[in-house]
Amino acid sequence: MTAPTSDGRLDLLLIHPGGRGRIYQSLGDELTAIEPPLWCGLIATYCRQRGHSAAIIDSEAEGWDAAAVAAKVAEMAPRLVAIVVYGHQPSASTQSMPAAGALARAVKDAAPEQTVIVIGGHAAALPERTLREEAVDFVATGEGPVTVDALLHALKSGTPDGLSPADLSPADLSDVPGIVHWHEGEVRRTRPAPLVEDLDRDLPASSWDLLPMEKYRAHNWQCFGDMGARRPYASIYTTLGCPYTCSFCCINAPFGRNGYRFRSPEAVLREIDLLIEQYGVRTFKIVDEMFVLNERHVTAICEGLIPRNERLGNTLNLWAYARVDTVKPRMLDRLRRAGFRWLALGIESGSKHVRDGARKALRNEDIVGIVRAIQEAGINVIGNYIFGLPDDDAKSMRATLDLAKELNCEFANFYSAMAYPGSPLYDEAVGKGWDLPESWSGYSQHSADCRPLATETLTAAEVLAFRDKAFTEYFTNPRYLKMVDQRFGADTSRHIREMTRHTLHRNLLEAAEAAAPGGLAHEA
């Protein structure tokens, strides 16, 4: 924690709300990652550089419930609590809102005068609604750092004890960009906050010293063949935002359409060195929405990592996102020597027509070719697939699963199409009156109340049933298990078999079965 300011009071307490159990059910116990909260660390760094004291509570890593966190907040009495609702991927912001909302309410119950702001992708997509629904004083409409710094300056002005939200008039808040707030029963909105432009200067690294580093772990699949390497673990960024506009993605809600920015390779390597030397990290996630994109950027980072990996006996284990149409075969050997052992590809659908409708124009032969090239370079592939995109029907979903089984990637993620707040698909869904989840946790792919989109020919229950059965069919496929056994060993293939024994409780499927005994119409 940074030392408190001269009056002895902590300025900023950033909280990662967690909620892994509700989001992932039993999968969250051992299989999913416990990932360092990137934006808590970055906002802390930005504010500490500007003279504010800061601390972080990662309630997910600590295993604390809302009441325990609220008691700690009341004890610490910071000027500002920032509940930061980002997640492992863009959609994780919305699915984390129930935990964030419960935490905000618990904080206000324990310390009614405590000033609270919520920040994240969901908040940026639906700021006015979030203000109305949650027990918070402010909602950030952008990425967060500039807003929090300005808000702290406003709260610290005026009197030795500072000001409360009730003391701040619209004029006082006019210099705080990127917030919505209440004033005399009305929602007010300030001008948009600028993005952080100089990433190397203003967001040089996460505030790792404020985090419980011993408690983070990688996903199970990243350490196939050596599950002991899941800890220690860290996630870092090399770019923010994304230049693409896939219909189902909400990544740019906090950043805007021109929010794609690069960090210098030198800054990335300095942070990696810090994590290796101070915390013993060898297992990393690159959190960029699209890392393998700009060849010059990727090449410079890899050229810096290669000698480091060699000095460490080739023990680095990194994974990153890529696109089929941005991975160049000439890049692959360099990526592997740099320690990249996994690339995640957004394949989405086995139907070109469905992919085109989702603004993901790819040919099947290109997909097969690049997957094979990546694997031949010694890099494992995670294939990401979506069932229930707007143009999907039972035949096209089957084609997607068939393509997944043909590719036989070392791991696969199967998703149901969701209209995430902040995505073009959400705007379309709202405009056309489509059925959306009744609660924010319903946007979680693995929650009990998961409710994907229906299509013209498929109900939401049919899409979800296909997704769950596709997961089982893929991971119990003898061809897949044989490949895993050969590639990673018998212990990993046993681990996969154990993983498929986890059964997700699905309210939607139980309701559909009760209404129509005999099963759902579209089977895997």
d(CA 237, CA 255): 15
Residue with tokens 């489509």: 434
Sequence-ordered list of residues with C-beta below 8 angstroms from that of 173, at least 6 positions apart, any chain: 154, 179, 181, 188, 190
| 3 state DSSP class of 292 | strand
| Cis preceding linkage at 112, omega within 30 | no
Q: Are strands 80-85 and 116-120 parallel, antiparallel or unpaired?
A: parallel
> What structural domains and CATH numbers belong to the chain?
12-189 (3.40.50.280), 217-440 (3.20.20.70)
Lowest pLDDT segment from 474-488, 490-504, 507-521: 507-521
- Which position has the higher pLDDT, 404 or 358? 404
Residue 110 has pLDDT above 60, yes or no: yes
Distance CA 365, CA 345 (A): 15
pLDDT of amino acid 390? 86
pLDDT of 146 strictly over 80: yes
Q: What is the pTM of this model?
A: 0.93
Residue 191: how many CA atoms within 13 Å on its side-chain side?
8
With CA atoms as reference, report the closest residue to 383 among 352, 414, 360.
414
């394949």: which residue's tokens? 347
Average pLDDT, the chain: 90
Going by the DSSP 8-state scheme, the letter that residue 333 receives in this structure is H
Q: How many CB atoms lie within 10 A of CB 357?
A: 16
- Residue 416 tokens read as 């149901």
DSSP SS3 for 438:
coil
pLDDT band at 158 (very low <50, low <70, confident <90, very high): low
pLDDT at 22: 53
Kindly state the average pLDDT of the residues 128-156: 97
Place of tokens 């031949």: 376
Instruction: Please write the tens of the pLDDT for every residue from 298-347.
Output: 999 999 999 999 999 999 999 999 988 889 999 999 999 999 999 999 88
Residue 259, CA distances (Å) to 197, 254, 478 in order: 9, 9, 44
Token code pair at residue 78: 């910071």
Contact present, 241 and 226 (Cβ < 8 Å): no
